[in-house]
């Protein structure tokens, strides 16, 4: 997966000159960009244009702290060191090294882009479409603000899809299965899911399942593929065929499902998800526990954080079995100690409170623009703080000198590494300590 970061780096040579030419022609007041849009970050810096970035999680190369092991968001087992053994922490650090080599230097470029100079903090306004509660709590500089989950206040009515509405209204314990628009999985994995869910139905844990699945007929007619030396004859696919063909009344398979409306329905008791950024936020917001089956990228990190929040159980996409699906469903739905229900309610309330921070994000962009406009010698709208006496204000070419730093930028961003860490003071200590001691001794003896 991390080898793919090289693809993003390869786009820079084409996108940077085009974005720069566009910005020079249009002179925007602000650039709003995805975290992976390197060219936008560089154009904003080179043309002195205010920049606001956005990411679905705190980026792995930014704001690293010693109590978070390995590569944040891509850990093997632990998202913090609190309950990690020393062997676990060694394994996480070895994984970080493997990632660095696998990315072919891309992670180093991303780290350098975020830091530019000084510590690994962004030099621009940076929003995270998530919230503390899913994200690991850590000290954040003023430039970085969690403002998620950013969700529309309007939900598509379930009545627009009467078949799904009727199914949910006539079933009381339903699992919703959806793996997003980019995940493609084998028929064998799908068969394991069907067998596990069917077993949970036979046990009385569920009475229905809604599956958002595109091209069901194509999947049904595609050849079976073995994995890890297994042939297609090793897998019995009759159950999957019946489900995809619509022959099992306990299942509803549809090519498009209004996900938020379904998650908001009281009949939904469990969500099997790939844990994309949007699905993770929506599960937390609507208060539905998750059985995770992450596929790639940041989905693994989202799945780990949901599990750490006490609202999910994780399945491994390579090794999970139908029995794992049944056991995970049983543990969450039966919830013998009530902890899943408690944590789901807690996280739902936290997500609802944090969802209002989208207004804070808008206010911070406005604040950024106000500050940026008057930090330069030649503001773009003239010297508006001076009384012009009715005379037209003369506009100058170029912004001129930077008169003061950005008001949200911490001063350590502008300090050399030695001074920032007070190493010069520590270096002088062996010299100064004896002098101060002797001065103190002579002072006492003179009295």
* pLDDT digit string, tens, across residues 232-281: 434 456 788 888 888 899 999 998 899 999 999 999 999 999 999 999 99
Q: Please determine, for residue 21, whether its predicted confidence score (pLDDT) is greater than 60.
A: yes
In angstroms, rounded to a whole number, what is the distance separating the alpha carbons of residues 361 and 141? Answer: 15
For residue 311, give Cα distances in angstroms to 278, 303, 343, 372.
Answer: 16, 10, 6, 42
pLDDT mean over 175-201: 90
Q: What is the pLDDT of residue 290?
A: 98
Q: Please determine, for residue 360, whether its predicted confidence score (pLDDT) is greater than 90.
A: yes
CA neighbor of 147 nearest in space, from 132, 135, 133, 130: 130
Instruction: State the Cα angle at 303 between 192 and 291, rounded to 5°.
Output: 40
Q: What is the pLDDT of residue 424?
A: 83
| Average pLDDT of the chain to the nearest whole number | 86
Whether the link from the prior residue into 149 is cis, omega within 30° of 0, is yes
- The model's pLDDT over 188-199, given as tens digits with 9 standing for 90+, comes to 889 999 999 999
In angstroms, rounded to a whole number, what is the distance separating the alpha carbons of residues 39 and 19? Answer: 7
pLDDT mean over 426-439: 78
16-25, 67-76, 85-94, 212-221: which has the minimum mean pLDDT?
212-221
Please, which pLDDT band fits residue 169 given cuts at 50, 70 and 90?
A: very high
Structure tokens belonging to residue 42: 């560089």
pLDDT mean over 32-60: 90
More confidently predicted of 86 and 392: 86
Q: Please determine, for residue 355, whether its predicted confidence score (pLDDT) is greater than 50.
A: yes
Domains of the chain: 2-146 (no CATH), 158-355 (3.40.50.2000)
Please, which pLDDT band fits residue 384 given cuts at 50, 70 and 90?
A: low
CA neighbor of 60 nearest in space, from 74, 46, 50: 74
Q: What is the pLDDT of residue 6?
A: 67
More confidently predicted of 445 and 277: 277
How many distinct helices (H) and strands (E) make up the chain? 16, 10
Q: Please determine, for residue 94, whether its predicted confidence score (pLDDT) is greater than 90.
A: yes
- The model's pLDDT over 280-314, given as tens digits with 9 standing for 90+, comes to 999 999 999 999 999 888 899 999 999 999 999 99
What percentage of the chain has pLDDT greater than the value 70?
84
Please, which pLDDT band fits residue 24 given cuts at 50, 70 and 90?
A: very high
Q: Please determine, for residue 115, whether its predicted confidence score (pLDDT) is greater than 50.
A: no
Q: Please determine, for residue 401, whether its predicted confidence score (pLDDT) is greater than 90.
A: no
Q: What is the pLDDT of residue 314?
A: 97
Structure tokens belonging to residue 160: 């627009």
Which helix (H) or strand (E) element contains residue 351? helix 339-354
Q: Please determine, for residue 162, whether its predicted confidence score (pLDDT) is greater than 50.
A: yes
Please, which pLDDT band fits residue 149 given cuts at 50, 70 and 90?
A: very high
Burial of 115 (0-12, 13-18, 19+ CB in 10 A): middle
Q: What is the pLDDT of residue 218?
A: 66
Q: What is the pLDDT of residue 117?
A: 41
The alpha carbon of 350 is separated from its chain's Cα centroid by a whole number of angstroms, namely: 17
Q: Please determine, for residue 134, whether its predicted confidence score (pLDDT) is greater than 80.
A: yes
Q: Nearest 5°: phi and psi at 346? A: -60, -50
pLDDT mean over 173-201: 90
């Amino acid at each position: 997966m991390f080898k793919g970061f090289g693809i993003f780096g390869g786009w820079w040579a084409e996108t940077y000159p085009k974005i720069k030419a566009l910005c020079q022609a249009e002179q925007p007041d602000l650039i709003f960009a995805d975290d992976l849009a390197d060219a936008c970050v560089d154009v904003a810096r080179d043309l002195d244009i205010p920049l606001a970035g956005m990411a679905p999680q705190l980026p792995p190369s930014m704001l690293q702290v010693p109590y978070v092991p390995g590569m944040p968001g891509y850990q093997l087992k632990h998202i913090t060191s609190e309950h990690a053994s020393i062997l676990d922490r060694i394994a996480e650090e070895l994984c970080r090294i493997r990632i660095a080599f696998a990315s072919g230097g891309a992670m180093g470029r991303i780290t350098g882009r975020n830091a530019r100079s000084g510590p690994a903090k962004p030099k621009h306004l940076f929003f995270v479409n998530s919230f503390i509660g899913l994200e690991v709590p850590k000290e954040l500089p003023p430039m970085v603000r969690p403002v998620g989950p950013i969700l529309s206040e309007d939900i598509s009515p379930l009545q627009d899809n009467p078949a799904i509405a009727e199914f949910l209204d006539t079933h009381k314990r339903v699992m919703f299965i959806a793996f997003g628009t980019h995940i493609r999985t084998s028929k064998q994995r799908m068969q394991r899911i069907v067998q596990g869910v069917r077993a949970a139905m036979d046990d009385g844990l569920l009475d229905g399942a809604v599956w958002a699945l595109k091209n069901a007929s194509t999947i049904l007619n595609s050849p079976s593929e073995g994995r890890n030396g297994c042939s297609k004859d090793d897998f019995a696919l009759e159950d999957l065929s019946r489900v995809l063909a619509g022959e099992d009344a306990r299942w509803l398979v549809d090519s498009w499902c209004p996900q938020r409306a379904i998650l908001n329905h009281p009949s939904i008791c469990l969500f099997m998800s790939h844990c994309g950024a949007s699905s993770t936020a929506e599960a937390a917001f609507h208060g539905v526990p998750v059985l995770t089956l992450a596929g790639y990228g940041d989905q693994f990190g989202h799945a780990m954080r949901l599990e750490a929040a006490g609202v999910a159980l994780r399945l491994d996409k390579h090794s999970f079995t139908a029995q794992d699906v049944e056991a995970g469903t049983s543990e969450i739905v039966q919830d013998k100690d009530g902890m899943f229900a408690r944590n789901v309610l807690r996280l739902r309330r936290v997500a609802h409170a944090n969802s209002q921070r989208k207004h804070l994000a808008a206010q911070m962009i406005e604040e950024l623009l106000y500050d940026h406009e008057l930090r330069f010698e030649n503001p773009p709208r003239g010297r508006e703080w001076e009384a012009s006496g009715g005379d037209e204000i003369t506009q100058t070419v170029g912004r001129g000198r930077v008169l003061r730093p950005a008001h949200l930028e911490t001063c350590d961003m502008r300090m050399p590494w030695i001074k920032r860490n007070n190493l010069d003071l520590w270096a002088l200590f062996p010299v100064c300590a004896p002098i101060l001691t002797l001065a103190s001794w002579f002072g006492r003896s003179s009295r």
